[in-house]
A and B are shown apart, each in its own frame.
Chain A
Amino acid sequence: MSLNAVSTRLPPWLIKKIHRNEVSLGTKEILKSLDLNTVCESARCPNMWECFSKRRATFMILGNICTRNCAFCSVKKGLPSHVKKSEPSNITEAVGRLNLKHVVITSVTRDDLKDGGASQFARTVYELKKEYSDVVVEVLTPDFRGNADCIKIVAESGPDIFNHNIETVNKLYKRVRPQADYYRSLNLLKFIKDNYPAIYTKSGLMVGLGENRDELEAALDDLITHSCDILTIGQYLSPSRTNIPVAEYVHPDEFKRLEKVAFEKGFLYVMSGPFVRSSYNADQVFNKKCDKEEV
């Protein structure tokens, strides 16, 4: 056993085992063969191999180039690619081949498109529900610049869960999400619940960006007052040296405390932990929420 650990190592609770095996490689191959993008790969998610080994993936539609410049994200920025007509049917095929029971569809932000990509979301949801009516469909959308018509297009396509991440506390928006707006994101969640009460609302927060406890709890309160049902909280990890640096590696005990606080505030379900991501184990999150509702 060597004693020369390198100083750049992260705290022990942030070391992720790679699950590179026949199953995970098979998942990767299916996605590649259908020319599908995943946020798992584009965001360099540390959970990628784990999820692929469980035959899970989060589909990222509308290309892999984003029109926004969020400081926390590694998805490529620039001139986006054209919208692929085959994407909805390819996702449907992948869902069948991977035998997914819970599908998460996200996208890059497409401020260049008139509808922000809403109709591509809708086509994908329609096609999935038509082929697999029992599959739970979760959309994880951009803010559509607060355009209610675009949000309606997605909501009326029939997703079970409408997920939109506020990502961080109000104070850090200018630095972390310069082209977004804290209240616009919150209002999107409230708009969904007010107009489509049968759809579950979900949001996610990253911690370790420089927020303090009071600011975090204020964000939890804001999410509750804006009708958010389900919450995920995870550690921010800087994808590259050009992204915003990590301000703090939050201890797992603090994640547990936050989870307890959030439950007390009234969320239907909360998942909080260093490696929790917006769509990480999304099926388990949803099923546990259902169990809780039954109780």
Chain B
Amino acid sequence: MVEVVVPDLGEDVEKAKISFWHYEEGDKVEKNDDVVELTTDKATFNIPAPESGIITELCVEEGEEVEVGEVIAFIDEENEELELSSEDEEEEDTNF
């Protein structure tokens, strides 16, 4: 399981607001796809997925404040691998 964490957004910036989730729980994401949009007083940021996988949990609602370092979502990489391997098997089956 991979965590999506609120990154350091500059000196003395302790909080940010979740402005927009680009995905819902259960959606599949690719590494580096934007998962969530965060807003600070200064700027708006898109946070990419650290790994490919299935989003198993979005921990915070849109409009809520989060702290730097806080885990705001979980991505299941193994789930992604399982899906891929089952797809591979299906492909093999059709070859036969």
A20 at the interface (CB under 8 A from B): yes
Helix, strand, loop or mixed for chain B's interface?
loop
B24 at the interface (CB under 8 A from A): yes
Do the beta carbons of B39 and A238 come within 8 Å of each other?
Answer: no
Do the beta carbons of A20 and B7 come within 8 Å of each other?
Answer: yes
Docked Cα-Cα span, A212 to B41, in Å, equals 24
Docked Cα-Cα span, A128 to B88, in Å, equals 55
A195 at the interface (CB under 8 A from B): no
B91 at the interface (CB under 8 A from A): no
A100 at the interface (CB under 8 A from B): no
- Contact partner of A44 (CB less than 8 A), chosen from B11, B18, B22, B46, is B11
- Residues in A with CB closer than 8 Å to B20 are 2, 5-6, 9
- Residues in B with CB closer than 8 Å to A76 are 11-12
Do the beta carbons of A10 and B22 come within 8 Å of each other?
Answer: no
Do the beta carbons of A16 and B44 come within 8 Å of each other?
Answer: yes
- Residues in A with CB closer than 8 Å to B39 are 6, 8-10
A262 at the interface (CB under 8 A from B): no
- Residues in B with CB closer than 8 Å to A2 are 20-21, 24, 62
Docked Cα-Cα span, A49 to B8, in Å, equals 9
Docked Cα-Cα span, A195 to B18, in Å, equals 52
- Residues in A with CB closer than 8 Å to B7 are 18, 20, 49
- Residues in A with CB closer than 8 Å to B22 are 1
Do the beta carbons of A17 and B45 come within 8 Å of each other?
Answer: yes
- Residues in A with CB closer than 8 Å to B19 are 5-6, 8-9
- Residues in A with CB closer than 8 Å to B23 are 1
Nearest Cβ on chain A to B16's Cβ, whole angstroms: 11
Chain A, 1-29, contact with B by CB distance < 8 Å: what is the 0/1 string? 11011101110001111101000000010
Residue positions of A touching B, CB distance < 8 A = 1-2, 4-6, 8-10, 14-18, 20, 28, 40-46, 48-49, 64, 74, 76, 237-241
